[in-house]
Structure formats: C-alpha cells, structure tokens
C-alpha cells in the first residue's frame, strides 16, 4: 500500500548536468523529515527533458543512495508503449519499489488504446504500478471503467495518482475499487477533499520544501482527524497555490533554489520565472518563515 506523503522530487541540475550531490541532500532531507516515499523522474522531476541514459541513472542512483531508508517510486511513463516498458523494466531491475506511469500524452489514445498500453507494461514488468491521470497535460483522461478493467486483470496495478478537480471521479474510483486500491492526490490543494473521499495520500509538489507539514496533513487525514487536517490544509493553502503561479515545476524548483537546496537551473523549454512572480514566491516563502538564502 502506497499512502501518506510522497514527494514529487525535483531533479537538480548544475552546468547542464544532473547534480548528484544535490540529489543526495534532497533524499536525505526527506528521510530526515518523515516523507513516506520519493518519486524520481516524474514530471516535476523534468523527465521529458532527461535523456534515457540520465533517466535510468537517476532512478538507479536514488534507489542505491536511499538504501531502503525510504521507498523509491520511479516515473516510467511515456507516450510510446515500448519506451514505457523499457523504463519500467529498468526501474524493476535496479530495485525501485514501484513505477508511476502517466497517461500517454499528445497521442490522445482511445480507451482501448489506454487499456492496451497499461496492460502491456503490467504484463511485461512485474512491479507495482501506479497510474497517473492528468488530463490537463495529456489531453485525455483514463476512464474509471478502464481503470477498473486494468485492476481487475492485473494485480500489480495498485493505485492511481489523480490530478483532477473532479471529485465524482474520486468517489467512483473508491466505490468500485475498494480500500486496497491507493488513490493518491496529484494536486496539493485537492489532497484534503480527496482524502475525505477515501484517497490514501498525495504525490506532492509542496513536499519538496515543507515535508513535515505535508506529512502532518496526510497523517491527520489517515487517522480520521479531519479537523486538524483541515487546519493544516488552510495553513498551507497559500503556499500550495503560489507553487503553481507558473508552470510546474518552475516555481517549486525556484523555491528550492531560494532555500539553498539546488541551483536555479532548468532545461528548455522550461525557463526562469518572471521577476514579478519570483518576488511573489519569495514573499510567500518568508511568510512561512522558511530559511530563504537566495
């Protein structure tokens, strides 16, 4: 069961290359702060601009460096099924605890195409698989019926990350798939409402900078203490929203740089924030008494 507070980890760069020393510090940071799992090479980790070699190396490095101290989920989705199979097989080979596969983007497959895509990966690679539904980025949503078909046939499909404001969808997933299927919020500001409907936690962007607080929110919700979970939600709400003032992961990586955790370096077509938005972000971080150094 994957639940609680999972960080959608940034991938730090320095001088055009992956910064493995910074990556070590990020992993240690989450081990020390009680994060339940790290997701490496997800879209917050800028996976679309990593080469295949970099992608495989980051996953392998994270698994080896974590050394069982924290679960490691590898982002292995692609819009070509053979690529998703390759990335997922490598994740299993190096010892990742699970794979997160985004719905294929741009292609806009039919529901049968989506079924065949995920079924192929699940058949070929025996690793726990979490589906990733984010229609605003992919152009297509995986239907609840399709998720149900997949889960009914492939027991290694164990959960779904849901980046959608449609709470009826969350209710349907929970009602049809039961408590053993891990629904995870893919949007920090929707974690509380999703968990009130039976989701198990969040794959969080904000967790990159406030891991203890995101962990507290999910722990309260899992315990059924929704009064305290709601208090934490409203405490963090302004931060949740400012981290999406521009395209993710630009603001959160900029925030990590402001806090001295990495360089402020992206790969095109991602670029630095507008100065006025960067200033808004800096002001919000200071409101939360975070240690801004840049």
The helix or strand, by DSSP H or E, that contains position 159, with its residue range, turns out to be: strand 157-162
Alpha-helix residue ranges (DSSP H) falling in the chain? 20-32, 52-66, 81-94, 111-124, 135-138, 144-153, 167-177, 191-196, 211-223, 226-242, 250-258, 275-287
Q: Return the structure tokens found at 113.
A: 């195409």
Catalytic residue among 71, 92, 105, 132: 132
Let me know if 241 is a catalytic residue: no
CA distance 138 to 125: 23
Let me know if 132 is a catalytic residue: yes
CA distance 210 to 252: 11
Closest CA to 144 of 161, 169, 113, 109: 169
Residue 99: strand pairing partners:
74, 129
Closest CA to 84 of 49, 120, 32: 120
Task: Look at the block and give the residue holding tokens 């400012």.
Answer: 242
Long-range residue pairs from 237-244, CB within 8 A, at least 24 positions apart, any chain: 237/189, 238/284, 238/287, 239/206, 239/209, 239/210, 239/284, 239/285, 239/288, 240/188, 240/189, 240/206, 241/189, 242/280, 242/281, 242/284, 243/188, 243/205, 243/206, 243/281, 244/205
What is the SS3 assignment for 134?
A: coil
Catalytic residue among 71, 105, 115, 161: 161
Which sequence positions are flagged as catalytic?
Answer: 132, 161
């Amino acid at each position: 069961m994957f639940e609680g507070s999972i960080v959608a980890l940034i991938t730090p760069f320095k001088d055009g290359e992956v910064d493995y020393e910074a990556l070590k510090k990020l992993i240690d940071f989450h081990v020390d702060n009680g994060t339940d799992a790290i997701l490496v090479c997800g879209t917050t980790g800028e996976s679309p601009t990593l080469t295949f070699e970099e992608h495989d190396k980051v996953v392998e490095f994270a698994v080896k460096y974590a050394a069982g101290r924290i679960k490691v989920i590898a982002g292995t989705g692609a819009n070509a099924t053979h690529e998703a199979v390759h990335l997922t097989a490598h994740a299993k080979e190096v010892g990742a605890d699970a794979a997160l596969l985004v719905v294929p983007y741009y292609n806009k497959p039919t529901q049968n195409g989506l079924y065949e895509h995920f079924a192929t990966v699940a058949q070929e690679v025996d690793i726990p698989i979490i589906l990733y539904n984010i229609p605003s980025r992919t152009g297509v949503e995986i239907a609840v019926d399709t998720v149900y078909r997949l889960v009914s046939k492939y027991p290694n499909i164990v959960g779904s990350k849901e980046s959608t404001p449609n709470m009826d969808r969350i209710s349907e997933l929970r009602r049809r798939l039961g408590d053993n299927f891990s629904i995870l919020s893919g949007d920090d500001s929707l974690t509380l409402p999703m968990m009130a409907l039976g989701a198990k936690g969040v794959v969080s962007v904000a967790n990159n900078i406030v891991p203890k607080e995101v962990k507290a929110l999910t722990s309260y919700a899992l315990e059924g203490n929704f009064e305290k979970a709601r208090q934490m939600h409203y405490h963090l709400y302004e931060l949740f929203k400012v981290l999406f003032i521009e395209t993710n992961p630009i603001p959160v990586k900029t925030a990590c740089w402001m806090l001295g955790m990495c360089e402020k370096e992206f790969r095109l077509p991602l670029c630095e924030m507008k100065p006025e938005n960067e200033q808004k972000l800096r002001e919000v971080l200071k409101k939360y008494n975070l240690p801004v150094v840049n």
